[in-house]
Structure 1
């Protein structure tokens, strides 16, 4: 019986150890579950933290975009206001242009009429060319495909041509009735001071008399000077002094 007690005690101890081992395993398993759960919670926390950080960064980016858009909108507002002011100014200018156009057309008509009267009373040089220019101006005024500004430019151009005649010397050929017979002659125009003709055979010459409105015959002594003047006008001689009678200045 003495030998049985130690066995019983050993069995109890073994059983107790087994119980303790089983409890320990449960504790370890529970601890593992807790650790695993904590790890999963940490992962969720990390994801939430990352998400919050991303949202915070996105919020900051959006704020910067909003600030940029505010500046851009302010600039657009200024540009829009400037464009509105410019449009108002253009509308006012267009109204003024319409008024000017209504006034400038009668002015151009009067200018053409005045130019026509001037040519009629002037020394009769280049008659065909000057009459053709006037006819062209009159026809131009009836055309709708030419702007008022272009019409005015051409009228002023015609005036400028007439002004230039008064300070230039020119030689040209044309037909003229001399002693009742139409002949080809050379004309020498010295500004508006003198208009002289010389027949091709250099035998007859005359100058325009503003008093009688006819050509007056010139003496043979002037023919050499007329020929010299013609050559100067044609740039065949250098400019030089001419001795000629003056009728146009009377």
Structure 2
């Protein structure tokens, strides 16, 4: 067998080197294609994420615009009816005052003179044409809040009790809007106001002791506790005469 000549060996080496270069070039193009593919995938994911964020923003913006449009519509309607509202406001305020006065007159007569004086002052304010509508409404709401607050607290004060021709100094106790009591300074006499017949009813010794505890609680002289006392008003599902009334300072 004939051995390859030097020229043939040189040609074979050149061909092998060329093939290696071609393979390297192909591998480089493959690597570059992979890098480009990865970059395209990354861009695609970023674009999808941006699209989702934009869609969510558009949905939120659409909801906000709808709410703003509804608010604009309400304001426009309010402006269109403003004159009618202003014309009706004096009668509306007077009606609210009349209802409040009826409430006070039908309520337990605690601090009656003070409450009626407050209503009379409000009446004068509503009748004063120099007072702005805002000021009238503000004072009316203030009086309503004062009356509503009576239902959320307890109170005790010294005052004059009139029964027929007799007057005497006593200690009053009010428990929300459900209990109104008095106790003489010596603790020997006491009563509960009954709204159904608009008069005082005498309390026995144990009940007077409870009233005394309530007075001390109201004056921050005793820790809050449950007091068993007859109520001043009729309540559904309440015992006929005695009920446990929670006391709070």
TM-score interval (norm. to shorter): 0.5 to 0.7
Match of 2:147 in 1: 162
Kindly indicate whether residue 157 of structure 2 is the aligned counterpart of residue 172 of structure 1: yes
Give 3-state SS (helix, strand or coil) of 1:232's partner. Answer: helix
Cα separation, 1, equivalents of 2:163 and 2:189: 9
1:93–1:122 CA distance, 2 compared to 1 (3 A): closer
1:127 shift after superposition:
0.2
Q: Is the 8 A contact 2:194 2:232 kept in 1?
A: yes
Report deviation, 1:115. Answer: 0.6
| 1:131 partnered with 2:105 | no
Could you say which residue in structure 1 is the equivalent of 2:204?
219
RMSD value over aligned CA atoms?
2.2
* Higher helix fraction (1 or 2): 1
Residue matched to 2:138:
153
Measured against aligned partners, the alpha-carbon deviations of 1:32-70 in whole angstroms (never above 9, x if no partner) come to: xxxxxxxxxxxxxxxxxxxxxxxxxxxxxxxxxxxxxxx
Cα drift, residue 249 of structure 1: 2.9
2:125 corresponds to: 140
Where does residue 192 of structure 2 map in the other structure? Answer: 207
> Aligned pair 1:184/2:179, yes or no?
no
C-alpha contact (below 8 Å) 1:195/1:248 kept by paired residues: no
Q: TM-score, normalised by structure 1?
A: 0.60
Count of aligned pairs? 161
User: What's the CA shift for 1:93?
Assistant: 7.7
Q: Is residue 230 from structure 1 mapped to residue 201 from structure 2 by the alignment? A: no
Structure whose alpha-carbon radius of gyration is higher = 1
For 1:75, the equivalent position in structure 2 comes to none
Partner residue of 2:103 out of 118, 133, 140: 118
Q: What is the aligned partner in structure 2 of residue 67 from structure 1? A: none
Return the alpha-carbon distance in structure 1 between the equivalents of residues 202 and 137 of structure 2: 41
TM-score normalised by L of structure 2? 0.60
The CA distance in 1 between the partners of 2:180 and 2:157, in whole Å, is 11
Match 1:107 to one of 88, 92, 95: 92
**Partners of 1:97 and 1:167 in 2: CA distance:** 36
Using the TM superposition, give the Cα deviation of residue 136 of structure 1 relative to its aligned residue in structure 2, in angstroms. Answer: 0.4
Per-residue CA deviation, residues 127-171 of structure 1 (Å, 9 max, x unaligned), is 011100110011001112211111011111111111111111111
Equivalent in the alignment of 1:21: none
